[in-house]
Amino acid sequence: MTFRGLHEHSLDSKDRITVPSQYRGALSEGLVLMQGIENCVEVWPAAAAEAMEAGTLSGLNPLSREARRIKRSFFAHSASADLDSAGRIKLPASHIEHAGLSGRCVITGMGPNLEIWNPEAWAAEDAENAEQIPTLTENLAERQMAQQASVPGTPS
């Protein structure tokens, strides 16, 4: 499933947040909560989290201090979880603190996962993205064209 859109839900007094109903099926087999690189909480279907970790982290050299630090950051600050019968996730206190969550929250689709943001932090991130997206997309297009040009037999 591809997670899309913006949704507003509230963190309740027991540190639970309701997942938008259209996403619950994709999270019904378990999920992984991660502290985002930015100040948000990432919500991944368990299988997608494992695939992302295998694709990005498993190839890192275990003798590299940088690699160990990145792995520690990902794995020490993540937790397995399940939806409750009402479609809610209980967030760990450390994740709530990391993202500055309380009360109203913004849930954003990120394709393979969701993110949970403090509304003010989301507004700042979204505004910064809006400013930078023309340059970011142009840079990405240029890199992709350069990669294609370096592969023999690839049309440019």
What is the CATH classification number for the domain harbouring 38? 3.40.1550.20
In Å, what is the CA distance from 4 to each residue of 54, 109, 152?
24, 4, 36
**Confidence band, pLDDT 50/70/90 cuts, at residue 57:** confident
What does R_g of the chain's alpha carbons equal in angstroms? 18
pTM for the model: 0.88
User: What is the extent of the structural domain holding 87?
Assistant: 6-117
Where b means 16+ CB within 10 Å and e means fewer, 95-113 reads bbebbebeeebbbbbeebb
What does the pLDDT average to over 96-118? 97
Q: Do 74 and 148 share a domain, yes or no?
A: no
- Residue 127 in domain: yes
Residue 71 clears pLDDT 70, i.e. is over it: yes
Query: How many domains does the chain contain in total?
Result: 2
Three-state DSSP class for 50?
helix
Interval 126-137 mean pLDDT: 94
29 with 74, same domain: the answer is yes
